[in-house]
């Protein structure tokens, strides 16, 4: 998967020939793509875990501009501004879900059985 800046935003580039969709390994949340859904695998900070960023939780990156100190992340109905340093410590697995990739889950909320 490649990524590129669009006005500084970190977005998936699958529409222009990238290999979007679900990725293989774990990546820091800070390096995630806008519009993609991720599952949290590791979250070392207790306070952040208690706010809902715990292993197994699904998040969607709404805004990720590398030059900004905060990412806007969707978690359930809530949206958070998460400091880049904190987001760099959270390891996530890509679930896709981006409209460019047509991969992964289709909405930002978990569909409950």
Partner 1 sequence: MKGGLTTVALAGNPNCGKTTLFNALTGECRYVGNWPGVTVERAEGGYEYGGRDWWVVDLPGLYSLAPFTPDEAISAEFLQSGKADVVVNVVDASNLERSLYLTSQLTELGRPLVVALNMTDLANARGMTLDVDGLAQILGCPVIPMAAWRGEGVQALKEAIAVAVGRPSSSPVLPPDRRGERDRYVFARETTNRTVRQSAEAPVLLSERVDHLVLSRLYGIPIFLAIMAAVFWVTVRASEPAMHFLDEWLSRLLVEGGRQWLEGLGVPEWMILVLADGVGSGLRAVSTFLPPIFSIFVCLALLENSGYMARGAFVMDRILRFIGLPGRAFLPLLVGFGCNVPGILATRTLPERRERILTLLINPFMSCSARLPVYTVFAMAMFPSRANWIIFSLYLVGLLAAIGSGLLLRSTILKGEISTYVMELPEYQMPSWRAVLRHAWENLKGFMIRGGKWIVAAITVLSLANGIRLPAGDSPVERIGKRLLPVFRPLGVSEHNWPASVGLFTGLFAKESVVGTLDALYAQREQRGVVEEEEMEGEGGRRLLESLRRHFPSRSAAYAYLLFVLLYSPCVATIAAIRREAGMGWMFFSIVYQTVLAWTVSVLFYQTIRLKENPAEALFWLGLGAFLLAGWVFGLKAWTWRRRRA
Q: Which residue lies nearer to partner 1 by CB, 27 or 86?
A: 86
Q: Are residues 96 and 20 in contact, defined by beta-carbon separation less than 8 angstroms? A: yes
**Element spanning 87, H or E:** helix 84-89
Q: Which stretch binds partner 1 (CB under 8 A): 10-18, 25-33, 47-55?
A: 47-55
By CB under 8 A, the residues from 20 to 39 that bind partner 1 are: none
Distance CA 80, CA 113 (A): 26
Residue 88 near partner 1 by CB under 8 A: no
Q: Which stretch binds partner 1 (CB under 8 A): 11-19, 25-33, 71-79?
A: 71-79
Which listed residue (16, 17, 24, 47) binds partner 1 by CB under 8 A? 47
Q: Which stretch binds partner 1 (CB under 8 A): 13-21, 24-32, 103-111?
A: 103-111
At 45, phi and psi to the nearest 5? -90, 125
CA distance readout (Å), 60 to 17, 24, 36, 45, 110:
23, 17, 6, 19, 11
Token representation of residue 12: 């998936």
Q: Footprint of partner 1 on this chain (CB under 8 A)?
A: 8, 45-57, 62-63, 65, 67-70, 72, 75-83, 85-86, 106-113
């Amino acid at each position: 998967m490649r990524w590129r800046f669009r006005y500084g935003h970190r977005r998936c580039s699958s529409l222009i020939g990238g290999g979007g969709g679900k990725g293989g390994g774990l990546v820091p949340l800070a390096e995630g793509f806008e519009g993609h859904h991720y599952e949290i695998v590791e979250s070392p900070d207790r306070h952040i875990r208690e706010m809902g960023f715990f292993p197994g939780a699904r998040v969607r990156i709404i805004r990720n501009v590398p030059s900004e100190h905060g990412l806007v992340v969707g978690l359930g109905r809530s949206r958070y501004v998460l400091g880049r340093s904190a987001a760099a410590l959270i390891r996530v697995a890509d679930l896709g879900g981006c409209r460019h990739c047509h991969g992964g889950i289709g909405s930002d909320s978990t569909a409950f059985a």
